[in-house]
Homo-oligomer: A and B are copies of this chain.
Amino acid sequence: MTITITAFERSPDGGKGLARDTRVRWALEEVRQPYEVRLVSFRAMKEPAHLALHPFGQIPTYEEGDLALFETGSIVLHIAERHAGLLPDDANARARAITWMFAAVNTVEPPILELATATLLESDKPWYAARLPLVEDRVRDRLNQLSARLGDADWLDGAFTAGDLMMVSVLLRLRSSGILDEFPNLAAYVTRGEARPAYKRAFAAQLAVNTGKPPTGQ
């Protein structure tokens, strides 16, 4: 059955790979599943046809036969459960990999989202400059803990899993802030993720949408 995902017709980041369809593209590339992409404009995202697929009016969505999903974490988990390459075979290691997926989206991403929100929506407010260091320090608190756990390992728990895919994707949003570089082992971890051939193919595919040029071969 054909897999169809949705992505921004024009990504707010201009193709830096921060839109969440990149996470789903990456997962599909890791497990070598072909997929089609339906591009959605900002206006169409808030219209009934898209809201029926995604009640919060966002991208990506995932359609496969009569199954329709939203939420990147859920889509990546669905892909990882059905195709080899993103979850360990051992049941306990598999549960721990899923734990890292939830840690990425529910523990590490919220302060990073708060930092993004401050910059995107409150940079014209009188409190912006005074408040920013507080928000940045809340991100640092989480990164300190994550850095201590990762240590000098390549990935969070043994081989690369969907947990690493989600964590690297979440940390990538921090690069422009400079905070990631304060934690050399986390910066190297993100670079390691970006160096994976599957990530490179996913990144090139989303960039091609935004430049209008076909992806170069990887």
Q: Which of B67, B102, B149 is close to A74, meaning CB atoms less than 8 Å apart?
A: B102
**A101-B122 in contact (CB<8A):** no
A210, chain B: closest CB distance, angstroms: 24
**A125-B131 in contact (CB<8A):** yes
A208, chain B: closest CB distance, angstroms: 27
Interface residue A134 (Cβ < 8 Å from any Cβ of B): yes
Q: Mark A129-148, 1 if CB is under 8 A from B, else 0.
A: 01100100010001001101
Main DSSP-derived SS at the A contact region: helix
Number of identical protomers: 2
Residues of B within 8 A of A134 (CB): 121-122
8 Å CB interface, A138-186 against B:
138, 142, 145-146, 148-149
Interface residue A105 (Cβ < 8 Å from any Cβ of B): yes
**A74-B101 in contact (CB<8A):** yes
A150, chain B: closest CB distance, angstroms: 9
**A145-B56 in contact (CB<8A):** yes
A117, chain B: closest CB distance, angstroms: 7
Q: Mark A59-86, 1 if CB is under 8 A from B, else 0.
A: 0000000110111111101100000000
A100, chain B: closest CB distance, angstroms: 8
